[in-house]
Chain A
Amino acid sequence: MSAYIIRRLLYAIPILIGVNALTFVLFFVVNSPDDMARMHLGGKRVTDQAIEAWKEDHGYNKPLLFNEAAAGTAALTDTILYEKSIKLFLFEFGQSDSGRDISEDISQRMWPSLAIAVPTLLVGLAINITFALLLAFFRATYLDFWGVVICVAMMSISSLFYIIGGQFLVGKLLNLVPISGYDTGLHAWKFMILPVIVGVIGGIGSGTRWYRTLFLEEIHRDYVRSARAKGLSEHWVLFRHVLRNALIPILTGVVVVLPLLFIGSLLVESFFGIPGLGSYTIDAINNQDFAIVRAMVFLGAVLYIIGLLLTDISYTIADPRVRLD
């Protein structure tokens, strides 16, 4: 098991190198630092001195790959590739283009993201599984049929509609909770309710439908038929046999997104003014702060790979038939 984990961790290295190379090409080769500086300083009427000064301030004034002026290893380390890209492997994200320390921003902003994303995931999971079990219990009846129709209809509604509609209905018409904002500590609860509700409702359609498919697939298996043949009641079959076995794919689907919860939801956070990593990313995109976008791309890739690893491990825990070696 530990040998497997180590091997998987080693396998992650070339992938991260690939991600890094891709972002490097995207951010520094497609457009030169000069282009970036001009963009930030605004338009064409920018003097060369201003561009040089901007690059100097943000550390983009070094050569891309190889510094001929420097001696020894500095020829390789005193470059943009090393300073801006390779240092990401050490989780040194450096400074954002507006001069703030990215690592510190991230460590502060991931908590509000988690505070929204974790309840959304858990509540959503509970509700989706309940609905899906209900539909599976009443399979091939009108209840099942209309349940699926409602699910498909809910899937077809844009997530923007849920957010805007939720804000309008609950926040503005009913005046129950604040429309947006955040507070420190436990006072944050009233700002959390609406985003969580919106997030859960937005996921019901696709989630319920997907879990229903998993349950139905399981219900047609031979062992379920044997269980029924033994004379077990339908409830018992459903909860004891079907639910437990169907939980394996559900569990792995959940585990893979766990690490990504840190990043939060871009849309929900920016609409509700939650100071999490999602709105951080959106602000960075809108302000064209490339250092932050670059850091988030790398962080996202790392978290995704951790998610994949956790999935594999959770398989062995949930299903003793699976062996990793």
Chain B
Amino acid sequence: MAFQPVILWTDALVYLLLVLIGLMVWYTRRHEHLLTPWRRVSGSRTGQATMVVLGFYIAVGLMDTLHFNPQTGVDDAGKPIYSTEVLSVFDVVAGPLRTQREKTYSAPFATHLFSKENVQTADGRMERIFPRLQYGGAHLDASGAGKLADIVQKGAIGAAQGVVAWALLILLLNKLRIGRIRDLLAGRRPQPWHVGAWTALAMFAFVGALWELSGYYHVLGTDKVGEDVFFQSLKSIRTGLIIGTLTTLVMLPAAILLGIMAGYFRGWVDDVIQYLYTTLNSIPGVLLIAAAVLMMQIYMSNNADQFNSLTERADLRLLFLCLILGVTSWTGLCRLLRGEALKLRELEYVQAARAFGVNHFRILVRHVLPNVMHIVLITVVLDFSGLVLAEAVLSYISIGVDPATNSWGNMINGARLELAREPVVWWSLLAAFTFMFTLVLAANLFSDVVRDAFDPRLREQR
């Protein structure tokens, strides 16, 4: 299939982030003292398990970041015509999940619609029945008999596929460098890689089963307009990850620069920077976000013609939300860095550098910055989960992401009124909360491991 790549703003920043992480990995691998704390991370069982879970989320998020316009046909001159619809690689992988829409609500694994409808029977009478779903369980016979056995069977096949995929991956890694597999799985290695490997096995089997089943059923039901909830939840992963990572990426330069400058130069520079962050800090975060997002909404509605497509507009809104969240969240890090820089500037090596006549910029970059990087890293990792949770809350008060963007907040917002229905439509809510909980829990546990590994103060206690 021919296609035309599309790079949205957030995509570009994600690529930038990947490049930066790549550089960081490359640099760290060359320096033993930088590698040590990371060894402590991979030496922790929790670290191993959470990294695998986070890896799954990141994989889906990255697949969903590769955007393109599919080709719809050829014009008279033989040039390809591209659709204006923006798809991602993940949409292609998910295939039928995206396109198989039902009419309205249906429960997880249902074969019939959730609400009764008037249907004309063969002999021309009108009857109120639960109509059969168009796609969900369509391979079963009309009554939907034998569903349970079918689910178990399909699930087992999917899980087996997952296990095979896992085995192939382990073999591939084995080719690379990890040594004897039996030692690895039995935990006879200095690092607890076996925890990671077994977690991966469980995840592969689980995801495999879900994936196989989702080809035949709506495993998490469908929402009001009949869209598959499982697909929505997976699409929301990208939004969650973007909010959690890009927010810190956009605020880091300002926080680092201003923080160490305030601590290092002191005097009026310090006063100005302190004034800046006290002012920003004294506005309650939600209100500042609300004010900024309201203003952006006005701007966007009055300048609607500047945006080529809805996707582009939603994407810019997402980016703007990251920016404004960054503005409200950089102050904490800035204050921490200022304190640390205040301490560092009095240390002998900085004094010596100054005595040698090294200029300020060089001192900041070579002597101060490397020694505050552990604080930066810890803060970035700690902030992540809070930002993911904040997205849901902000979307609920309608100052979050664009309503057209898939996000857990939008899913909750759309489904929360349905709890008043009888019987209750619970699956959208549960799906969104479960996906969010898994990501945030993994991130929280991982950030604890990172903090323990990098914080010198905690290390002394042991």
Alpha-carbon separation in the docked complex, A294 to B278 (Å): 19
Alpha-carbon separation in the docked complex, A160 to B336 (Å): 30
* Interface pair B291/A39, CB less than 8 Å apart: no
* Interface pair A15/B295, CB less than 8 Å apart: no
Chain B: interface residue total (CB-CB under 8 A):
43
Interface string of B297-316 (1 = CB under 8 A from A): 11101100000000000000
A233: chain B residues within 8 A (beta carbon): none
A19 touching B419 in the complex, CB below 8 Å, given contacts A160-B393, A294-B291: no
Alpha-carbon separation in the docked complex, A309 to B280 (Å): 17
A172: chain B residues within 8 A (beta carbon): 419
Alpha-carbon separation in the docked complex, A19 to B278 (Å): 10
- Answer yes or no: A2 CB below 8 A from chain B CBs: no
User: Closest B-chain residue to A149, C-beta based?
Assistant: B445
B176: chain A residues within 8 A (beta carbon): none
A293 touching B292 in the complex, CB below 8 Å, given contacts A152-B445, A270-B397, A285-B398: no
Alpha-carbon separation in the docked complex, A10 to B424 (Å): 56
* Interface pair A267/B294, CB less than 8 Å apart: no
B241: chain A residues within 8 A (beta carbon): none
* Interface pair B302/A267, CB less than 8 Å apart: no
- Answer yes or no: A288 CB below 8 A from chain B CBs: yes
- Interchain CB contact (< 8 A) of A160 among B278, B301, B396: B396
* Interface pair B298/A31, CB less than 8 Å apart: yes
* Interface pair B292/A26, CB less than 8 Å apart: yes
- Interchain CB contact (< 8 A) of B282 among A19, A26, A164, A296: A19
Interface residues of A in 17-31 (CB under 8 A from B): 18-19, 22-23, 26-27, 30-31
Give the contact stretch, choosing among A84-92, A183-191, A300-308: A300-308
A23: chain B residues within 8 A (beta carbon): 291
Alpha-carbon separation in the docked complex, A266 to B440 (Å): 22
**By DSSP majority rule, is chain B's interface helix, strand, loop, or mixed?**
helix
Most buried by B among A14, A161, A260, A267: A161
CB of A217 to closest CB in B, whole Å:
10
* Interface pair A296/B275, CB less than 8 Å apart: no
* Interface pair B288/A38, CB less than 8 Å apart: no
* Interface pair B291/A297, CB less than 8 Å apart: yes
- Answer yes or no: B429 CB below 8 A from chain A CBs: yes
* Interface pair A164/B283, CB less than 8 Å apart: no
* Interface pair A285/B290, CB less than 8 Å apart: yes
Interface residues of A in 253-308 (CB under 8 A from B): 260, 263, 266-267, 270, 281-282, 285-286, 288, 290, 293-294, 296-297, 300-301, 304-305
Interface size bucket, A side? 35 or more
A47: chain B residues within 8 A (beta carbon): none
- Answer yes or no: A153 CB below 8 A from chain B CBs: yes
Alpha-carbon separation in the docked complex, A15 to B275 (Å): 7
Most buried by A among B302, B437, B444: B302
User: Closest B-chain residue to A31, C-beta based?
Assistant: B298
B448: chain A residues within 8 A (beta carbon): 152
A19 touching B279 in the complex, CB below 8 Å, given contacts A160-B396, A172-B419, A285-B294: yes
- Answer yes or no: B133 CB below 8 A from chain A CBs: no
* Interface pair B302/A301, CB less than 8 Å apart: no
- Answer yes or no: B143 CB below 8 A from chain A CBs: no
* Interface pair A300/B283, CB less than 8 Å apart: yes
Alpha-carbon separation in the docked complex, A74 to B233 (Å): 58
Alpha-carbon separation in the docked complex, A270 to B419 (Å): 16
A158 touching B436 in the complex, CB below 8 Å, given contacts A152-B448, A285-B399, A297-B287: yes
User: Closest B-chain residue to A278, C-beta based?
Assistant: B286
* Interface pair A281/B295, CB less than 8 Å apart: no
* Interface pair B461/A297, CB less than 8 Å apart: no
- Interchain CB contact (< 8 A) of B302 among A35, A160, A266: A35
Q: Return 8 A-B CB contacts under 8 Å, by A number.
A: A15-B279, A22-B283, A158-B393, A172-B419, A266-B286, A285-B294, A288-B297, A305-B282
